[in-house]
Amino acid sequence: MAHDEEMRIKSIGGGSLLIAWQLKDKKVLIVGGGEVASQRVESILTADAFITVLSPESGLHPRTKRFINLRSDRVTHHARPFSGQEELDGAEMVLTALDDNDLSRSIVEMCRARRIPVNAADIPDLCDFYFGAQIRDGPLQIVISTNGNGPRMASLIRTKLQKGLSGREGEAITKIGQLRNKLKERAPGVGGQLGKERMKWMTAMCNEWAIEDFILLDEGSMDKVLDEGWEKNKRVPSLNEVGVRRPQTSWITTFILPALPTATVFVAGALAATLLLTHHPRP
Ligand SMILES: C[C@@]1(CC(=O)O)c2cc3[nH]c(cc4nc(cc5[nH]c(cc(n2)[C@H]1CCC(=O)O)[C@@](C)(CC(=O)O)[C@@H]5CCC(=O)O)C(CC(=O)O)=C4CCC(=O)O)c(CCC(=O)O)c3CC(=O)O
Ligand SMILES: NC(=O)C1=CN([C@@H]2O[C@H](COP(=O)(O)OP(=O)(O)OC[C@H]3O[C@@H](n4cnc5c(N)ncnc54)[C@H](O)[C@@H]3O)[C@@H](O)[C@H]2O)C=CC1
């Protein structure tokens, strides 16, 4: 083994596991109903879980109230203070978002005893997992975590990353998901030689097509991708071969629009210069 690789393996550690936790129809208890709790409700709702919010009515943030009122299919509110460990019955995940550090700590201890995964928004040291800044676009989910070091910085890095995305990646990935399902219908089964070929072909498709190209696929052209590609010696077909055309960008969008900001500054500069030169102060 190369020395570098040996050193790398020996120094692995000090992070946390980044996973996409499946919470569909699981029961999540949120103790507290303030601003942080309202953000938790949204994150957990996105994962299709059932949520119980435990907080006196007076402590509810307007956004938490909105979730309780508009998503009563998934969000239940118990308007009372936390009364003891029976509150944890049936919970498969617990989040505290409280302005009471001692209560938060004792709820974490109760969860530990019951082996319920728990996050306390105010006590990083006791959390089983942290939340992170999120980018979501359909099935695309990006989490930015600083592992407890700089939550605000996580948020700012999210903004930076977002600028590098077109906003249509989610749509493309949805299409890729559909194509993969269709492929699995044609070539079913797990593992083995067929499984290897399926993965190799999907990898080649993703590597060779531009992400925006997948957006152009519909039901019919997807079948064509399989007919002209997978069925023909597992090759990668061109867009043309599957009857799809990239929308033509006109010369206005290609040349004029991108140059507009520079052109505006130039024209403004020229106007200012003209004004200065033609403006003769009265003697
Ligand atoms: C450990 C963690 C536990 C957890 O909550 O899971 C935790 C803990 C604490 N946060 C505190 C403060 C702030 N948190 C934010 C914001 C966010 N905090 C989030 C996560 C996490 N916060 C986890 C680590 C994640 C990571 O390290 O990457 C984000 C990313 C996600 C989310 O909460 O959903 C979300 C941004 C979401 C977005 O914008 O998209 C801001 C800024 C703001 O509100 O704009 C501030 C003030 C400025 C600052 O401190 O940076 C304090 C009080 C510190 C004190 O008293 O001084 C504690 C407790 C402590 O540290 O002791
Ligand atoms: N992780 C994160 O993203 C962040 C975490 N924090 C931490 O999160 C905590 C909560 O912050 P906010 O939501 O802004 O506070 P907040 O003051 O808006 O909410 C506190 C909530 O606790 C509830 N509460 C108090 N005692 C209770 C009890 N006995 N039983 C049930 N509910 C009770 C109140 O009704 C209220 O809903 C703070 O401790 C803060 O340090 C703060 C900012 C960001």
Residue nearest to atom 42 of ligand 1 (CA): 152
Q: Residue 213 and residue 244: Cα distance in Å, rounded?
A: 9
- Which neighbouring-strand residues pair with 84? none
pLDDT in tens, 30-49: 999 999 999 999 999 999 99
Q: What is the CATH number of domain 27-131?
A: 3.40.50.720
Which ligand 2 atom sits nearest the alpha carbon of residue 39? Answer: 3
**C-alpha R_g of the chain:** 27
Active site annotation includes 137: no
| Beta carbon of 51 within 6 Å of any ligand 2 atom | no
Give the start-to-end residue ranges of the domains of the chain: 27-131, 169-242
pLDDT in tens, 2-37: 999 999 999 999 999 999 999 999 999 999 999 999
Start-end of H helices in the chain: 3-10, 35-46, 62-70, 101-114, 151-163, 169-186, 192-208, 211-215, 219-225, 251, 257-278
Which ligand 2 atom sits nearest the alpha carbon of residue 59? Answer: 35
Residue tagged active-site, from 100, 122, 223, 227: 122
* % residues pLDDT > 70 (the chain): 88
At residue 112, φ and ψ (nearest 5 deg) are -55, -45
Q: Residue 164 and residue 168: Cα distance in Å, rounded?
A: 12
Q: Output the pTM of the full model.
A: 0.89
Among residues 25, 95, 101, 38, the alpha carbon closest in space to that of 65 is found at 38
| Beta carbon of 213 within 6 Å of any ligand 2 atom | no
Q: Which token pair is 30? A: 């949120």
| Beta carbon of 158 within 6 Å of any ligand 1 atom | yes
The pLDDT-based confidence of 1 (bands split at 50, 70, 90) is confident
Q: Residue 189 and residue 193: Cα distance in Å, rounded?
A: 10
pLDDT in tens, 187-196: 998 889 999 9
